[in-house]
Structure 1
Amino acid sequence: MKRFFTKDIPLGTRKLYTMDHPKAYISESFRMLRTNLMYTNVDRQVKTILFTSSGPQEGKSTIVSNLAVAMAQTGKKLLLMDCDLRKPVQHEIFQLTNEIGLTKYLTGYCSLDEAVQNTQLPNLNVLSSGPIPPNPAELLGSKSMDRLLDLLKEQYEVILIDAPPAIAVADPIILAGKCDGVIVVVRAGFTKLNALKETKELLKKAEAPLLGTVLNDSTMNGGNYYKGYRKYYQQYYRKYYDE
């Protein structure tokens, strides 16, 4: 069983460690996560992966943005979608505009080419949330969203989706059923067990394909290699999901 831990990511900071410090040990941990994801489901293609958490401040946006860079660094053509239509941050992380984005595209105000933005990596694009709408759940559950995902699957090898916390709003549960896989970010010493169990039940009812969890902000005694930022990814985090 494999687990991935992270340590010492300051609350309130969202950094692209994998882009700014590619040789640091935290970047290597994201590459380990990337490798494990590549071999999670060898029997079927997993192109759309949704990241959520039980609640806020668990680090999912930092995890998914750094993973996106790590995967794009292998040459894969990748899109990072910010589907948190309530508190979006991916445009801030990548220092992009959020004037158009997903909501503008879904409501017919711009083309997909206008909505998708380039990053410093030529094969990594970002589709920011766009202006916050009054009806996030309805937009994400619309036929337009279904058609968009089908279109994006034709254009990209991997699509990573940053979604809101699962317990707070219905949005990630609506999206989960549309994706090939779901990963739940868990923050050690912060995420409540009951909240995680509730997240599991919500995803189960949506028949969401749960790939596993990332345990964030945790330490482990051991050799020098494991000091600093560490993540252990597992296909099913038994402590919380196999009870």
Structure 2
Amino acid sequence: MRSVSEKVKQRLMLNEQYVSTQQIRMIQIRLNRFIRHEPSALILTSVDEHTENSLVSAKLAMAMAQQGKRVLLVDTDLSSPALHVFFQNKNEWGWANAVQERRGVRNMIRETMVPNLCLLTTGMTQRFSHEMWMPEKIKGVVEECKKAFDLVLFTAPPFLSSANTQLLTDYCEGVILVARTNKSKKEKLVTTVDAIERSGREVLGTILQTG
């Protein structure tokens, strides 16, 4: 019988129903060029709520780690945390604690079953208000996350509907956008890309999720 972790890994790597390996590879090529010289923080967000951002970001992070990059995957979706479930980790301390309480993140980061890939979960979010999302509270945590990794990939809610996502984007070097075939409207995709570019950040690639 396969272990739980093996089942999780198979779902993330082989589930073509949601996002194809070919798309992940194309994004990898772009990211490898982008992060060639220095550590980078990128944010993966979406056009709307019809996508599974956590699943897509997990697959992308695993693919980058398997290329030898040191990757930290960070779950910032406080309303719907999911990455701790994918990787069979507890969600006791994480992003929310680091930002709200200004704690160092080093002791909150956990290794995963994938070599070179670590995880920072959301933490226990029930106690935290949206007041934690203040610029001066975000920058230091992002910079600390970048110190030990080649790539820090933040998973976030939809860009247009989340002020928190827009704030975090200011402290990342680039954006990966997710849309869903036959669900996400073309007009909303164009509006989202325009809003991201007006914020001074580049959309490094768009992943079309199917299924």
With structure 1 as the length reference, what TM-score do the two structures score? 0.72
Structure 1 residue runs without a partner (length 5+): 1-14, 219-243
Q: Which residue in the other structure is 2:4 paired with?
A: none
Match of 2:31 among 37, 40, 48: 37
Does 2:16 align with 1:47?
no
Aligned length: 201
Alpha-carbon distance change, 50 to 74 in structure 1, aligned in 2, over 3 angstroms: same
Structure 2 residue runs without a partner (length 5+): 1-7
Partners in 1 of 2:201 and 2:22 — Cα distance?
29
Alpha-carbon distance change, 70 to 85 in structure 1, aligned in 2, over 3 angstroms: same
Aligned partner letter, 2:24: F
> Quick check: which one's helix share is greater?
2
1:185 and 1:214 in contact (8 A); partners too = yes
Match of 1:209 among 194, 197, 202: 202
Shift of 1:92: 1.0
Does 2:62 align with 1:69?
yes
Does 2:82 align with 1:107?
no
Deviations 1:104-149 (A, max 9, x none): 122228542331111112421100011225434x434332320111
Aligned partner letter, 1:135: S
Partners in 2 of 1:121 and 1:42 — Cα distance?
20
Deviations 1:187-243 (A, max 9, x none): 11110123223322332332222223112218xxxxxxxxxxxxxxxxxxxxxxxxx
Q: State which structure, 1 or 2, has the greater radius of gyration over its C-alpha atoms.
A: 1
2:75 and 2:155 in contact (8 A); partners too = yes
| Runs of 4+ with deviation above 3 angstroms | 15-22, 25-29, 41-46
Does 2:74 align with 1:81?
yes
Shift of 1:72: 0.8
1:78 and 1:158 in contact (8 A); partners too = yes
SS of the residue 2:147 aligns to: helix
Cα-Cα RMSD: 2.8
